[in-house]
Amino acid sequence: MISRRSFILNSSMAAAAALLVPSLAFAPDKKVVGLQLYSLRDELPKDVRGTIAKVAKAGFKEVETYGFSIKDQFWGLTPKEFKALLDANGLKAPSGHYGLGTYLADGNTTELKAAIAAAKVLGSEYVTIPWLDDSIRKNADDYKKIALRINEAGKMAKAAGIRLAYHNHNFEFEKHGDTTGYEILLKGTDKKFVDFELDLYWVIRSGNDPIKLFKENPGRFTMWHVKDMDKANPALNAEVGTGSINFKPIFAQAKLSGMKHFFVEHETNYKPNPLGSVTASCAFIKKEII
């Protein structure tokens, strides 16, 4: 029979191990790797069903959608039909990128309501804003207005049982006086309503440190985009593990970040075989990082 002292000692050792091993920090039972479907933007519209089946076979368990429109829905499939397709392939869609440019520009909620409704059908946790049009982010005041709109969208999403998240590129880290657009968005949004999806590549490309952001804003980065940086040309992506980004220390801080899901994304440097590229990234992450 195990003694109380041995139980406490073993429990303490297990807890310490959980802090040292990245996978134990956020996913103790399974190695779940997600894919931002934009990585397969050339293939997906041509063969939605076949491409989704290949994503599952490549080793992914989660996907993040993109490309939803009120007219065409998900490449001609309704949210209900697309959810059935994901289910048939053992995939979940915890997040989706939804274009909310009109809402962010003038406050019209039509596209926001449609996005929330679609996300609910898919069983998603997040509606994620993927981009800000150049015309609405010229200065600090513009970012303050955007933060207010994002906050209101977050309240609407929460009322529907969904979280709102914001995904960055590198332009948010440009200076506007003594601050940056990203700082304004972080400070100007309420963590009760708004999370952030941190694109690690774009943060590093902009000259910033993801771990520093985690320490300054613990728990706010509930999702990540994982893509590597080409060693010869930083403007290009690379398969994870072949580029210049060391992901291990970043993943070791997953708990501090608040990360619940991460998605491989290949945005630039498209190879002749995009599916092969994301498959290689998935395999490397499972073997070497988590």
Q: What is the mean pLDDT of residues 83-112?
A: 97
When comparing pLDDT for 28 and 92, which is higher? 92
> Per-residue pLDDT tens for 221-267?
999 999 999 999 999 999 999 999 999 999 999 999 999 999 999 99
Reported as a pLDDT band with limits 50, 70 and 90, residue 269 is low
Give residue 15's pLDDT: 44
* pLDDT of the residue at 3: 45
pLDDT for res 21:
44
Rounded CA separation 217/188 (Å): 13
pLDDT over 80 (residue 8): no
* Rounded distance between C-alpha atoms, residue 26 and residue 8, angstroms: 22
Task: Show Cβ contacts of residue 56 under 8 Å, excluding neighbours closer than 6 positions.
Answer: 89, 90, 91
Model's pTM, two decimal places? 0.90
The sign one gets for the Cα dihedral 152, 154, 160, 165 is positive
Give the confidence band of 271 by pLDDT, cuts at 50, 70, 90.
Answer: low
SS3 of residue 284 by DSSP: helix
Residues 6+ positions from 85 with CB-CB distance below 8 Å = 48, 49, 52, 77
75 — alpha (psi -120 to 50), left (phi > 0) or beta? left
pLDDT single digits (tens) 132-190: 999 999 999 999 999 999 999 999 999 999 999 999 999 999 999 999 999 999 999 99
Amino acid letter, residue 108:
N
CB 260 within 8 A of CB 222: yes
Identify the pLDDT of residue 239. 94
Give dist(CA 147, CA 187) in Å, integer. 9
